[in-house]
Amino acid sequence: MIGSKIRSLRKQKRMTLEELAAVLGTSKQTIHRYENGVIANIPQDKIVALADALGTTPAWLCGWSDGESFTVPDYESPSPVTIKRLPILGDIACGEPIYADESHENFAVADGSLDADFCLRAHGDSMIGARIYDGDIVFIRRQSSVDNGEIAAVIINDEATLKRVYFYPEESKLILSPENPRYAPLVYINAELDNIKILGKAVAFQSTIL
């Protein structure tokens, strides 16, 4: 049955034995044997190639479906899940600033769509009001400034902290506000601002608390 279907479709497409053989990467004698049933157990990969070349499906060639030859309709495929690895650049304090080691200790895995460049591990409890707890991984998008009220990773005299930022350029004043009433805001003015650098904006966190 499969041999007669191959012959019929090949002739409908006005293909010679040589042309079909060339598509399959085999000889015209092999195609002739397929069509005459001399080779009954055609390899699966060849059945798939035959179906593609003849504009049908393996199921129709093998008699698993009825009706005329047909092609497989195009259905929307599932979207792939993408992930990326972001370097953890060291520790960042949420209580007292501690040195931010720039050596890449390890990596955190995040969704591929997350717009972040690196991450830091939080310490302390000064940001618990923003739902950032000790040990959480905070994802940072590298940028040199943030809008007032946004949480940022900030370097102060070569030490790092994570705070909500309020900058008032007309007063040359920067306030780094914690999210815990136990801690007072950090206020810097005038020349003190020269020793402060914003690393980037906190865009997401990965909690260690389930």
- Catalytically annotated residues: 126, 163
Q: How far apart are CA 122 and CA 125, in angstroms?
A: 9
- The HSE-up count of residue 113 (CA atoms within 13 Å, CB side) is 3
How many other CB atoms sit within 10 Å of the CB of residue 175?
16
HEC string of 169-190? HHHCEEEEECCCCCCCCEEEEH
Alpha helices in 85-151 (DSSP H): none
| Parallel/antiparallel/unpaired status of strands 196-206 and 83-93 | unpaired
Exposed/middle/buried for 163, CB within 10 Å: 0-12, 13-18, 19+? buried
